[in-house]
Chains A and B, each alone.
Chain A
């Protein structure tokens, strides 16, 4: 038995992700479900930090944990009158559809895991400096992403305007 600290941390995070992912979909209370999802996202951020990619880790924390989950919780609190009421049992047809989707998902994931050849598990030469990420996002050369960045901005702007339109309708 020769497990390094890196591997221990990885297995710990992986276990957290698996356990809380399962809990997220099996719990009967919707706000607990959101909380378990928060832990899954924390552990994912932990894996990014372990990969020495702290920028992505911080982005994960601020966007998913600090943004999306709060939006979820907010919308649950604002829309669900009986947020603490437990969900009713699923119908058989839905259980069957869920099972088929789960098996298909496992199949695709396993196929990819087994056929894909993974690169080195750690970045060469330590962390990626923020400057490199910034120029890659804002450049127009090959492997630089200004155009996708702008397209996403327009998409988000459209979403915001759409949201306001829907909210203002009386």
Chain B
């Protein structure tokens, strides 16, 4: 299996050879930042295209098909449009907070994005509390949404922001608890170790029943966390025009748009890492030949493939289910998901203590 740390170490050696260590460190930080932002933008463009195609497919339409082959360049054209659009200045708003809000949202999203293990040796941040850090930074995005809604000085934006805040705070509990369930099974918080622990079977199979419950709860909560349908009532367009980003235009709106798609990618990436083995190929203990064949598929492809499947499921939700009301949404979380999650955590502890897992 190809290890990407060979490449990163080669770059590191090269830089240290031509400049002092401190300068090499700074240059590496800049390079990593650029690579992250580039990956972020490219993935967002791809996701927007995929979303439109999947949506079209569910609605028996064709979707974008004029710009480039199969409409592949459609989202690139959209990006150029977004970049050259005017950013409208609105009167009677707190300019500072209005301008700041999209950056908080996008920074939280990029920080969470940088924790994902893309392939073997291809990961930016790897703390020993990795998955906890990821949850921590992704929760900061709520501040940006609340500030955006308030600073817009518009009642629809404010209602959208309050809904979004209530929703994200509630569903973060479920996300945290279902991640905790898997941490109990794996015994580590570090993302590389989480992935390594699945070399002899993915956690979804190793943890059987409690892992399956945690997986379903995580998917529901993750969809809600990204404000996507059927939980998209913060930006329910028929009631609130566009929710918290109604007043934003040009690239400021673009930031919210990007962050929304990338948050979906992050949720799918965490689901793939925790339950489906991250970049780890499908290994079945005992089937040596099969495992060897699976190892020939590059780890990057494994990760992106799993994330792609998860994203497809999340999109499937969006284009199939009708939107919930706010009280139904909060009842679902506090009366059903949270108790199920707590019991499931207990079940997982019992399973791990009595070694009932594979």
A and B, one complex?
A: yes
| Residues of A in contact with B (beta carbons under 8 Å apart) | 4-5, 29, 31-32, 35, 38, 54-55, 57-59, 61-62, 65-67, 69-70, 73-74, 77-78, 83-84, 127, 129-130
Q: Is the interface of A mostly helix, strand, loop or mixed?
A: helix
- Would A84 and B146 count as touching, CB distance under 8 A? no
Contact among B96, B129, B143, B169 for A58, CB-based, below 8 A? B129
17 additional A-B pairs beyond A66-B142, A78-B162, beta carbons within 8 Å, are: A31-B151, A35-B97, A35-B143, A35-B147, A38-B143, A55-B128, A58-B127, A61-B136, A62-B132, A65-B143, A66-B143, A67-B139, A70-B139, A73-B147, A74-B162, A77-B158, A83-B150
- Would A61 and B146 count as touching, CB distance under 8 A? no
Q: Which of B22, B96, B132, B161 has the largest count of A CB atoms less than 10 A from its CB?
A: B132
Q: Is the interface of B mostly helix, strand, loop or mixed?
A: helix
- Would B97 and A32 count as touching, CB distance under 8 A? yes
Q: Which of B22, B136, B147 has the largest count of A CB atoms less than 10 A from its CB?
A: B136
Contacts of A4 in B (CB 8 A): 22
Contacts A32-B97, A62-B139 hold; do A127 and B146 have CB atoms under 8 A apart?
no
- Would B129 and A54 count as touching, CB distance under 8 A? yes
Mind listing 26 A-B residue pairs with CB under 8 Å?
Answer: A5-B26, A29-B94, A32-B94, A32-B96, A35-B97, A35-B143, A38-B143, A54-B128, A58-B129, A61-B140, A62-B132, A62-B135, A65-B143, A66-B140, A70-B142, A70-B143, A70-B146, A74-B146, A74-B162, A77-B146, A77-B162, A78-B162, A84-B153, A127-B127, A130-B129, A130-B189
The smallest beta-carbon distance between B122 and chain A, in angstroms, is 20
Give 4 nearest A-B pairs by CB, closest first: A66-B139, A62-B136, A61-B136, A54-B127
B137 at the interface (CB under 8 A from A): yes
Contacts of B136 in A (CB 8 A): 58-59, 61-62, 65-66
The smallest beta-carbon distance between A4 and chain B, in angstroms, is 7
CA–CA, A59 and B161, complex, Å: 25
